[in-house]
Structure 1
C-alpha cells in the first residue's frame, strides 16, 4: 500500500501557488484495508475515503472505461493491482497527472512538468474526449492560469472542438455546468473562461445568445473585469457584467436553465433594470424612492451597495454621483414609521406618510 499526493496540489506547488486542498491516491489497497485503518468511505461510484485525523480525501487508484453518454457514463475498476501510472493516465491534463510520493519524489509519466514549463494545457490521452465536462474544466484552467501565460495546446483545442460538435455537452446537467461557471467566477477571470469556450465552439451550446455577440463584447467585458479585479469586484458583480449585453429574455433563460443562485440573479437584474437611471444627470426624488423600494434597501441595504459596485465596474469607475446617491439613500433610511405613529397617524395613512417623508428627505439631499 502506497500513498501519493496528486492533482492540483502537486501542480500548484510546482507553480508556487498557495495549495488550497490536498488529494491523495492510494495504490495497492482495498476498501476493507482502508476501513480497518480508520478511514471513512464517502464515495459511491468509486471508493473515496476521509483520513481519520486530517479529513483529507484519499481515493483508491482506479481506471475508467466509457460506457454511456455524459460525464457519469463510466465503469471504474479499483482493484489493488491498478498502478499509479494507470491512475494518472485517466486524468485530464498532463499538468494534473503528476504525483508526489511520501518521500517527496515526483512521478511524472506524461511529462506534466515539461508542460508546466511551456505553460501548456495538454490532454494526457485520447480518453480526454470521453468526458465532456473536461471542455469546461480546461476552459477554467485556461482562465485561472492565464496570468502565468498558459495556453491550450492545439491538439487539445481540437479535441475540445470535437466534443462540442459531437453533442456530448448537452448530456451535462445544468447544475454541473453552473458549478464550472461558478468556479471561473470565483477565480476572477470569467472573460477568459468564456473566450476559451467560444474558441472551441462550446459557448454556442451553453449560451447561444452570448456566443452570437461575443466577438463585439469581448473587449468591453475584459476592461470591466480588469477594472473590477482591482476594486474587489465580487463574483456576482462579475456575473452581472457578463449578462448585461443580453436581452431580458436571454438572461431569464440562462438563470432558469442553469438554476443560477438568487444573489447572482438579483445583482444582474438590478444592473439591467436600473443602470439607465444611475446614468441620468439629474434625479428626481420619486425616482430614487422607487429605486430604493424595488431594491428593498430598508431591509436589505447591501443590495444598493451591490448595484453601485456593479454599475461602477460597468462604467470603469465613471460614476461621479455615487456619493450623492448613497447620501440620498442614507437620508431616506432615517425616515421610519415610528415617527408618524408617534404623531397619531394610523393604518394605511402611515404608509403614505412614510413615502412622502422619504421623498422630502431625498429632495433635501438633491437640492442645490
Structure 2
C-alpha cells in the first residue's frame, strides 16, 4: 500500500500558495484493509475514508468510465491493481494531476510541472469533455490564478467550446453551477470567470435569462439589442478590488451581464428596464437557489443605483423617497453598499477607474442629516399613530431643505 498527496495541495505547494484541504490517494489497498487500519468510510459511490487521527480524506485509487449523460453518468472502479498513473488520468487539468509520495518525490505523468512553470491550464486527457462540470472548474481556475498570469491553452479552450455546443452542459444541476459561481466570486479576479464562459460560448447556456432579456428588447423596441460582449474594466473587477462581500460582487456580476446583454441602449427608461431586469434576477436567483439576502440587495442596487449618479439634483422629498426605497432605516448598511456599487457602475460606464465620485460624499451627508431627525421629539410633541410617520417625513424633508439652502 502506497499513499500520495494529490490535487490542489500539491499544486498550491508548488505555487507557494496557501494550503487548504489535503487530499490523499491510496494505491494497492482495499476498502476492508482501510477499515481494518482504523479509517472511517464515508463514500458510497467510490470508497473515501477519513484518517482516524487527522480527519483528512484518503481515497482509493480509481478509474472512471462514462456510461450516461451529464456529470454524474460515470462508473467508478477501484481495485488494488489500479495504478497511480491511472488515477491521475481521470483528473481535469495537468496542474491538478501531480502527486507527491511520503518521501517528497513528485510523480507527474502528464506534464503538470511544466505547465505550472509556464502558467498553462491544460486538460489531462481526451476524456476531459465527458464531464461538463469541468468547463466551470477551468473557468474558476482561470479566475483563481489570473494574478499569476495563467492562460488556457488553445486545445483545451476548443474542447470547452465544443462542450458548450453539445448541450450536455445543460445537464448540470443548479446547485453545482451555484457552487462554482460562488467560488469564482471569492477569487481576486471573478470577472475572468465570466470572460472565460463568454469566450467558450457557455454564458447564455448557463444563464438563459440573458437570452430572455435580449429577446424582450429585440422584439419589443425599434432598436435591436446587441450581442453579449463583456467589456473591461467590468464593474465586477472594480468591485472585487474594493470589497470581498459576495453580495456586492453578485450585484456587480448581474449589472455586467445586463449591460452586456442589452448593450448601450440609453433610450430605454429605467422604468422599462426594471420590468425585465426584475424578472431576470428573480428567475436566475430562484433557479440557482441563491440566498434571498443576496437577491434582495442585488434588486435594490440594480433598481436604484442610477439615482446616486444624479443625487445632487434630487429634491429633498426625492431623497427621502430614495432612502425609503432602499430600506435604509432598517438596513443602514445599504448606504455603504449602494454608494460603492454606484461608484463602480459609474466607472464601468465611463471606462475610467481612478476618479473622484463626489456623489458618494453627497449621499453620506444627506443620510447623516435625515438620520439625525429624532422620533422621540415627535412623540414628545404629542403626535400619535399615523401622524408620527407623516411628521417624521415632513421634518426629514425640512432638514434636507435647510441643508440644500431651499426656502420653505
- Once the two structures are overlaid, the 10-residue window that deviates more, 121-130 or 332-341, is 332-341
> 1:192-341 alignment to 2 at 5 Å?
192-208=192-208, 210=210, 217-220=229-232, 222-232=233-243, 234-245=245-256, 246=258, 247-248=276-277, 249-280=279-310, 281-316=312-347, 318-341=356-379
| Aligned mates of 2:171, 2:23 — CA distance in 1 | 27
Aligned to 1:121: 121
Q: CA distance change for structure 1 residues 282 and 175 in 2, over 3 Å: closer, same or farther? A: same
SS of equivalent residue, structure 1 residue 24: strand
> Is 1:46 equivalent to 2:49 in the alignment?
no
SS of equivalent residue, structure 2 residue 75: strand
Aligned to 1:170: 170
> Do 1:328 and 1:366's aligned partners in 2 also have CA atoms closer than 8 Å?
no
Deviation string, structure 1 residues 154-178 (Cα, Å, up to 9, x no partner): 2211211221111100100111112
| Aligned mates of 1:215, 1:58 — CA distance in 2 | 47
Unaligned runs of 5+ in 2: 215-224, 259-275, 348-354
Q: CA distance change for structure 1 residues 215 and 22 in 2, over 3 Å: closer, same or farther? A: farther
> Do 2:191 and 2:234's aligned partners in 1 also have CA atoms closer than 8 Å?
no
Alpha-carbon distance, 1:99 to partner: 0.6
| Aligned mates of 1:75, 1:58 — CA distance in 2 | 19
> Is 1:100 equivalent to 2:112 in the alignment?
no
| Aligned mates of 2:83, 2:125 — CA distance in 1 | 17
Alpha-carbon distance, 1:309 to partner: 1.3
> Is 1:359 equivalent to 2:389 in the alignment?
no
SS of equivalent residue, structure 1 residue 49: strand
> 1:56-135 alignment to 2 at 5 Å?
56-135=56-135
Superposition CA RMSD, Å: 2.3
| Aligned mates of 2:157, 2:300 — CA distance in 1 | 37
Q: CA distance change for structure 1 residues 335 and 217 in 2, over 3 Å: closer, same or farther? A: farther
SS of equivalent residue, structure 2 residue 242: coil
| Aligned mates of 2:244, 2:317 — CA distance in 1 | 29
> Do 2:239 and 2:252's aligned partners in 1 also have CA atoms closer than 8 Å?
no
| Aligned mates of 2:374, 2:28 — CA distance in 1 | 69
Q: CA distance change for structure 1 residues 300 and 32 in 2, over 3 Å: closer, same or farther? A: farther
Deviation string, structure 1 residues 273-299 (Cα, Å, up to 9, x no partner): 112211113122222222222222222
| Aligned mates of 1:242, 1:42 — CA distance in 2 | 36
> Do 1:3 and 1:25's aligned partners in 2 also have CA atoms closer than 8 Å?
yes
Alpha-carbon distance, 1:226 to partner: 4.0
| Aligned mates of 1:330, 1:125 — CA distance in 2 | 60
Q: CA distance change for structure 1 residues 45 and 333 in 2, over 3 Å: closer, same or farther? A: farther
How many residue pairs align between the two structures? 367
Aligned to 2:217: none
Deviation string, structure 1 residues 55-109 (Cα, Å, up to 9, x no partner): 2222222111112111111111122332211111110111100011111111111
